[in-house]
Copies of this chain bind each other. A is one copy, B any other.
Amino acid sequence: MERGIFMALAKKPVTGMKDILPEEMQIRDYVINVIKDTYRSFGFTPVDTPYMEHIENLCSKQGGENEKLIFKVLKRGEKLKLESAECEADLVDMGLRYDLTLPLARFYANHANSLPSPFKALQIGNVFRADRPQRGRYRQFTQCDIDILGEPTNLSEIELILATTTTLGKLGFRGFEIRINARGMLKAMAVYSGFPEDSYESIFITLDKMDKIGLDGVAKELEENGFAKESVQKYLELFRAAEDEKDSIRAIEKLSEQLDGFLDDAVRQDLLEIINSVEQTKAADFQMVFDPTLVRGMGYYTGTIFEIAIPEFGGSCGGGGRYDKMIGNFTGNDVPACGFSIGFERIILLLMEQKFQIPSQPQKTAYLIEKNYPAEKLCDIIKKAQEARKEGQQILVVRMNKNKKFQKEKLAAEGYDSFEEFYNRSE
């Protein structure tokens, strides 16, 4: 190679995306297996959708803020008419998916006839968002979603919460919370307070900042946004009263009484049934917590919404809710739908920080073979390795490096706890 004209290729991954090294990859594989096994035991069936979607679907106002973060794929061949292109939209016909919910809705709309109804779907895959790169946040990341399609009752919510929390429990998480609320509750509180009807979404955007700016911050922002002081005060009192009542069941009952005439009784009843059923049947150490400040950003939610809060981790570690109107965008006929997305990347981050040890690993042995070991004798070593592999052991067969000590240190870091060395002794 002539060094003078050597033009090196780029070694780093593209901006905002990362290579995954063996240490993290082994934990990811383990967690995915736990997730799949647990979700399968609840009857969720794996499905998969392409990484690319029609650009019209991605930009159909289902994705909220995520629609600003789409990686768009250039048209190919004759379809690309660069000379006459006037805007971005003329150049692209596909984009990379930013979540798994929209592709699942398309999938269900396309295949409903050949799927059982209700259908319990499990989807694990990467999604892409051109977010500003920042620590621990990447432009490609893995999502794990379960969804129940075609089931109108709260049996969906109960099963989704049980499946997700059982998984978290199996991964060693304890003492966490599932916070729950309902779009109907959010709306009733806004109506009761006298806010104008076309302003609810704007109010919920402010309310969503509660964990960052507190109750007073929310009040301040609402007033700054021009809402009547009286409404803001009424609104705040509702939250203060709910805050005082630590028991979720009593908090829902109390708030429902206050909202009498504004709140659909089905919303109250759903929340109570979900909390009671989950508490009585849960298989992990966590609590159901009614949280009237819980908003969840996505505009497509129509009913119950919920979120995982793990004390070791500030902020949400996954969430979901009911979205009964999305599939109708594809077919013209609404299908009840409810989903839960576990915060896969955050869970991996937490486990990595806790130096998580994967349970029940096979025995790992490395065979180190001296460099000039003759080919005809090498076969015997490989035979021995093949026998051990048949018995379930992990056997690495490699040449011995000059710096054997350093080589063994690296292998020990990969989990090799036993070594055998083979030398070509002159006999």
- Number of chain A residues close to chain B: CB under 8 A: 114
Given the known A-B contacts A3-B332, A277-B375, A281-B383, are A25 and B42 also in contact in the complex, defined by CB atoms under 8 Å?
Answer: no
- CB <8 Å contact, B46 and A29: yes
User: What copy number does this chain have within its complex?
Assistant: 2
CB distance from A189 to the nearest CB of B (A): 24
- CB <8 Å contact, A399 and B366: no
Interface status of A231 (Cβ within 8 A of chain B): no
- CB <8 Å contact, A401 and B48: no
Residue of B whose beta carbon sits closest to that of A118: B398
- CB <8 Å contact, A393 and B52: no
Given the known A-B contacts A53-B14, A110-B11, are A389 and B332 also in contact in the complex, defined by CB atoms under 8 Å?
Answer: no
- CB <8 Å contact, B17 and A45: no
CB-CB < 8 A to A76: which residues of B? 71, 130
- CB <8 Å contact, B106 and A1: no
Give the contact stretch, choosing among A155-163, A204-212, A245-253, A306-314: A155-163
- CB <8 Å contact, A91 and B118: no
Give the contact stretch, choosing among A82-90, A222-230, A233-241, A338-346: A82-90
CB-CB < 8 A to A375: which residues of B? 154, 269, 273, 277
Q: Which of A130-181 contact B (CB under 8 A)?
A: 130, 140, 151, 153-155, 158-159, 162, 166
CB-CB < 8 A to A330: which residues of B? 8-11
CB-CB < 8 A to A155: which residues of B? 369, 378, 397-399
- Map CB proximity to B onto A371-402 as digits: 1 under 8 Å, 0 otherwise: 00001001100110010011011111111010
CB distance from A60 to the nearest CB of B (A): 6
- CB <8 Å contact, A116 and B407: yes
- Map CB proximity to B onto A37-68 as digits: 1 under 8 Å, 0 otherwise: 00011110111111111101100100000000
- CB <8 Å contact, A12 and B110: yes
Interface status of A258 (Cβ within 8 A of chain B): no
Ordered by A's residue number, 18 sampled pairs between the chains whose C-beta atoms are within 8 Å are: A9-B57, A17-B52, A19-B110, A19-B111, A41-B395, A45-B414, A50-B140, A51-B140, A71-B73, A73-B73, A80-B88, A117-B410, A155-B378, A155-B397, A166-B389, A269-B375, A277-B379, A281-B383
- CB <8 Å contact, A45 and B25: yes
- CB <8 Å contact, B25 and A47: yes
Interface status of A191 (Cβ within 8 A of chain B): no
- CB <8 Å contact, A118 and B399: yes
Instruction: Tell me what chain A mostly uses at the interface: helix, strand, loop, or mixed.
Output: mixed
CB-CB < 8 A to A25: which residues of B? 45-48
Contact of A281 among B11, B28, B364, B382 (CB under 8 A): B382
CB-CB < 8 A to A26: which residues of B? 45-46
CB-CB < 8 A to A329: which residues of B? 8-9
- CB <8 Å contact, B60 and A47: no
CB-CB < 8 A to A48: which residues of B? 19-20, 25, 28
CB-CB < 8 A to A60: which residues of B? 9
- CB <8 Å contact, A111 and B21: yes
Q: Which 5 A-B pairs have the closest CB atoms?
A: A43-B396, A17-B50, A20-B48, A116-B410, A22-B45
- CB <8 Å contact, B399 and A56: no
- Map CB proximity to B onto A313-336 as digits: 1 under 8 Å, 0 otherwise: 000000000000000111110100
Interface status of A296 (Cβ within 8 A of chain B): no
Inter-chain pairs besides A42-B394, A82-B87, 19 sampled, C-beta below 8 Å: A1-B334, A8-B331, A11-B109, A12-B110, A21-B114, A22-B45, A25-B45, A26-B46, A29-B36, A40-B394, A41-B362, A43-B397, A116-B414, A117-B407, A118-B398, A153-B399, A154-B375, A155-B397, A283-B386
